[in-house]
Amino acid sequence: MKETVEKMRIIIVDDEPPARKGLRKMLEKDPEIEIVGEGEDGPSALQLINSKDPDIVFLDIQMPGMNGIELLRSLPEDEMPSIVFVTAYDRYALQAFEVHATDYLLKPINENRLKETLKRIKRRLARPSRGSETERLIALMEQFAEDHRPGKTKDGPVERIPVRLGRKPVQ
């Protein structure tokens, strides 16, 4: 029996129908993708994201009703799909990454650049979710303590673990 691969669920949001059509045409070449909706403005995008539960949203920035940056700010961060901004304007790139965009593609979209974006997102989505950063840090510390318990190594119990925050080491 052949194992079926779950497709990535994608929403395309752009106020320009030719832009949506062109992106759809490029994305449909990938058999691991399912386009589950299209929107033409911020409010329709919000509704689609809430109802379709996409893995990825390709989102224009300048749209009627609510721009892409405002839309992202209205989404709960822990439930946010991967967001790839698709825009003709490079001046919004910093803002896009401040609201946790996964990538930023300039129109007209370069198909090779789109493939690289998809490859990176696929790798990230393929990794099993292992909980919050805090949960993962606690699990790591517990494993480290277990590996270094008295009698198991010559080092004895762990008294502290140095952690780097930014550029400054903290102990």
* Stretches in the chain below the pLDDT threshold 70: 1-5, 128-171
54-96 confidence digits (pLDDT tens): 999 999 999 998 999 999 888 888 788 999 999 998 888 888 8
**Same domain assignment for residues 64 and 90:** yes
**Same domain assignment for residues 18 and 96:** yes
pLDDT of the residue at 1: 43
- Report field, pTM of the whole predicted structure over 0.75: no
Q: Give alpha helix (H) positions in 16-110.
A: 17-27, 42-52, 68-74, 93-98
What is the DSSP secondary structure assignment for residue 153, as one 8-state letter?
B
Specify if 50 maps to a domain.
Answer: yes
**Same domain assignment for residues 15 and 62:** yes
**Same domain assignment for residues 102 and 144:** no
pLDDT of the residue at 3: 46
Specify if 105 maps to a domain.
Answer: yes
pLDDT of the residue at 123: 87
Q: Which of 140, 150, 72, 84 is nearest to 113 (CA)?
A: 84
Write the CATH number for 111: 3.40.50.2300
**Same domain assignment for residues 81 and 15:** yes
* Domain of residue 153, residue span: 133-170
pLDDT of the residue at 160: 63
pLDDT of the residue at 170: 53
The total of structural domains in the chain comes to 2
* DSSP code per residue over 92-127: GHHHHHHTT-SEEEESSPPHHHHHHHHHHHHHHHHS
pLDDT of the residue at 92: 87
**Same domain assignment for residues 34 and 61:** yes
Specify if 1 maps to a domain.
Answer: no
**Same domain assignment for residues 105 and 161:** no
**Same domain assignment for residues 88 and 163:** no
**Same domain assignment for residues 38 and 68:** yes
